[in-house]
A and B are shown apart, each in its own frame.
Chain A
């Protein structure tokens, strides 16, 4: 008579460890992708400040930041976005569920950023104007993805 109840209880107790496991994996992925974003922003900093005229242009500093940006954008996205880590179903992320519904568009936008970062690597040491030009495309790549796939804060 209570068999369905017992089955349900059993199923729940069996699944719980897996759920906890999935949660830990999700947390690690969210932390990793947010760290990558932080590092990207950290390296955009000196370049953007030069482009905005808030600090003097310095070819060496700009080049080093652009090299870092290039390297950071080579990080593969594969393990950073596990299913179930969207805003609304997972705590502490601004990643919109639309990412998982449009994975192709999402990866195309990342490819755009990778291209812009490569251009930037070639331009950053070539004077302020070259840096400003390339930064526009990097910023544009960030924006077009944030526009569609990040929750407003």
Chain B
């Protein structure tokens, strides 16, 4: 009788521990303070916007790869992201107060990006790459949010994700997040300015690893094989290893600006959008990304 009592107690504490680990976390006080203390700069926020590539998922689905930057500021959602766990449909994140995120506060926005938690306290699916964004500086998130206020509001309602059970249970994501959320940068870096700036652009904002690093069975990034290339989640082909060791820093920079590979092949697929975003960055940012990627192979 006593033994059963102990078992129940242990099971209950394990359950409580799991519940505690899986609960949607809030922003740390230091982050909140940094957000509040910062005077937001929407112009810098635009630079962050192109680096984070929000438009890659949230721009309209029928957008041509050659569409001008202005067309990429319409964050109506609707693009479909296929994965082994089901199909995610990017939501409307335009500043529309009803169908978008126009009624959010800066803290709501920062909690979504840095913690993967909605204003209602629900976990987001990691198709939203908060596992990378969590390394972003609060000041940059505040600037991005200031830029967000200048974007057009769109009324398109968001479509539901198409996921099979048990992936429909969002609370289960808490455990996944406990295992896969890590604020530390992956590559130690050499401390030199361009490489460290590049590391921030690649590992935090650009979230390149989300496609270019293979995932384990649970869908977490296998950081031991950082940027080693991976199967294309949308079915055909492979996402290549980066960088191609034969590419110089100059080659990478030119590719990110123009889409031309060193053999003068031209970028296609989802990377075509990424190049369009990268081309909007100041040249020094593309140079920093190239320096970081070269540092991975040197």
- Which residues of A come within 8 Å of B, CB atoms? 37, 41-42, 44-45, 48, 51-52, 54, 87-88, 94, 96, 139-140, 142-147, 150-153
Contacts and interface: CB of A to CB of B under 8 A. Distances in A.
B56 interface: no
B81 interface: no
A41 B240 CA distance: 20
B272 interface: yes
A140 B258 CA distance: 9
Contacts of A139: 258-260, 266
Interface string B185-196: 000000000000
Task: Provide the main secondary structure of the chain A interface.
Answer: helix
A98 to B, nearest CB: 10
Contacts of A143: 65-66, 259, 266-268, 272
Contact of A152 (B66, B236, B265): B236
Task: Provide the main secondary structure of the chain B interface.
Answer: loop
Given A140-B66, A146-B266, A54 B250 contact: yes
Give the bracket for the number of chain B residues in contact with chain A: 20 to 34
Contacts of A142: 259, 266, 268
B150 interface: no
B232 interface: yes
A144 B265 contact: no
Contacts, number: 74
Nearest to A136: B258
B238 A52 contact: no
Interface string B236-247: 111110000000
B271 A52 contact: no
A144 B236 contact: no
A6 B272 CA distance: 53
Contact of A147 (B237, B238, B268): B268
Pairs A-B, 9 closest by C-beta atoms: A146-B268, A142-B266, A151-B237, A147-B65, A152-B237, A152-B269, A140-B66, A44-B264, A41-B264
Interface of B: 64-66, 232, 236-240, 250, 254, 257-260, 263-272
- Give the one of B236, B258, B260 with max A CB within 10 A: B260
Contact of A146 (B64, B238, B257, B272): B272
Nearest to B261: A41
Contacts of B264: 41-42, 44-45, 48
Nearest to B236: A151
B237 A153 contact: yes
A136 to B, nearest CB: 9
- Give the one of A37, A143, A144 with max B CB within 10 A: A143
Contacts of A41: 263-266
6 contacts: A41-B265, A54-B250, A143-B268, A147-B272, A151-B269, A152-B270
B254 A54 contact: yes
Given A48-B258, A152-B268, A144 B239 contact: no
